[in-house]
Chains A and B, each alone.
Chain A
């Protein structure tokens, strides 16, 4: 075994021992492991010369070696709860805490919004709820920020922590509820009839007029993507004043296709088409 390789493997061994001690304060670990590399290197050099044993054969598993080291040093054995994850968390905690402290102002606003939202829902939903939410939000935010910055007795701090926890739970439940509502709403509440509709209800016909207020016929309507604005298939009928129902008949184009986007859709043969009973409400001004 060459010297550099031996030294490197000793260094790796010392690193492993150090890792097995990482539940201890860094200063203690440095005290324990400081100078260890030189001691081990010399010991290994001897054992290699005598028996050919390398560092692991000479000293056994690093964890066992570390346990003997700390036991002889009068330190407590590695705790069961001091898993590597816990050790990492403990080491990272200051950074995490600083990050959370930085988020506190945002939390002050969020909890004010939560209380305002809960209050406005209690007072009643709709526009009134929105208004009361906005009215409540400003003073509640001010109060929340003040509570966040003021120094409180310890007991109050604990109590407030509980209130905060309840607030977070409420937020989670609320968000979840909203999400479920939105999802279910997409399935049923937002159902729209096929074809052209107005305010959610299918329309029976379209009566086009020109700029002079004169009724037009044979007007083909398309949307911005070129899709025909067809009359709803469920409402291709004409309901007369006497309650009788007659089917409308669509325009037929040159290829024989029925076109339901040509307005006004005429009534059945022998009956007058939908009369222009609706007068134009305004005459458009002539564009220059």
Chain B
């Protein structure tokens, strides 16, 4: 009888240990995936000044749009800006970049400018990488959320005080993406 109780205690302890480690691993994977998004966002921020510089001499009517995107970039890059705020700013930047790409249609000279074409390719690359990083983040968050809500790991998760994380949802403007192929 004593051995049975001891065995049960040992087994429960082992299960708790495995669950604890699994949850910690999944939480860290979510954090890691979020930093993957940040890396891509930084790449995108680095491209914005060059893009603004390349288009501003052509886009005289969109001056305020260009100034606004520059301001948004500065705010987003500020280390004191909170993560939630960063994501909001990122959505606004996405929307601004989309508007610039639509406006480019009115400037044939700009569309054929080699510097702009190169910049646009780099921007497409970053956008695609960013999209991949967001999808990875969502996959990790889904896995993490499943773990903290499903039995028996949900018990351990409540002990550890783990909370459900929100998925990254693309802003409406970003969903209506510009067909970049038509621009070449």
Q: Do A and B come from one complex?
A: no
Query: What residues make up the interface of A, taking CB atoms closer than 8 Å to B?
Result: none
